[in-house]
Amino acid sequence: MNRDIPVNEKNLHENSPSKTNKNYKIDDIDWKILRLLSQNSELTREEIADKIGVSSPTTISNRVKKLSEANIITGYCAKVNFNKLGLSEWKVVIEIQVSKGQLITTEQEIAILPECLAVYDSTGTTDIIVIARFKKREELSDFTKKLLSMEYVERTISHVVLSTVKEDFLTIN
């Protein structure tokens, strides 16, 4: 499986967030490293080397360093189980319709709100999709009112997530 992907201006947005090293080539070993780190960022370089059949952990360290320098790896994070901390949560998917021509302005205004986990452009009758988290129903109500008070927001539709069957935004398949 040869998945060499030269990162350049043409495919920059399709394959990589890299903007600092546009000629970095991602090969099979890089993909394996990225896949493992996306599943568990606490793996040691030795564990990664063992799992992918590379003899030297130094090779893994060098590749991770290059992937970081190319902004392909942009950080590490913990997956937190908020329920274990006693923090109940209301996760909500919100569809938003905005006035014509005001998409970017409205997205930027929404994206800075601390409740937002994600803000997406969308096709169809919905212009923006927001995923947000709240501790209480009242916070959701206040947030919805805040959205509706924004100048270019025409309409919102909120979908409260009842249970999460699968959620894995970080793992590379």
Q: Identify which of 57, 11, 60, 65 has the alpha carbon closest to the alpha carbon of residue 32.
A: 60
| CA dist., res. 131 & res. 62, Å (int) | 36
Residue 22: predicted pLDDT: 61
Residue 135: predicted pLDDT: 86
Residue 79: predicted pLDDT: 79
On the CB side of 154, CA atoms within 13 Å amount to: 11
* pLDDT, tens digit only, all 173 positions of the chain: 334 444 433 333 344 343 445 677 899 999 999 999 988 899 999 999 999 999 999 999 999 999 999 999 998 888 777 778 766 678 999 999 999 889 999 999 999 999 999 999 999 999 999 999 998 899 999 999 999 999 999 999 999 999 888 877 766 76
Residue 89: predicted pLDDT: 79
The answer to whether 88 touches 81, Cβ cutoff 8 Å, is: no
What are the beta bridge partners of residue 131? Answer: 93, 118
Taking only Cα atoms into account, the Rg of the chain, rounded to an integer number of angstroms, comes to 20
Residue 84: predicted pLDDT: 81
The answer to whether 96 touches 58, Cβ cutoff 8 Å, is: no
Domains of the chain with bracketed CATH: 5-69 (1.10.10.10), 82-160 (3.30.70.920)
Residue 116: predicted pLDDT: 94
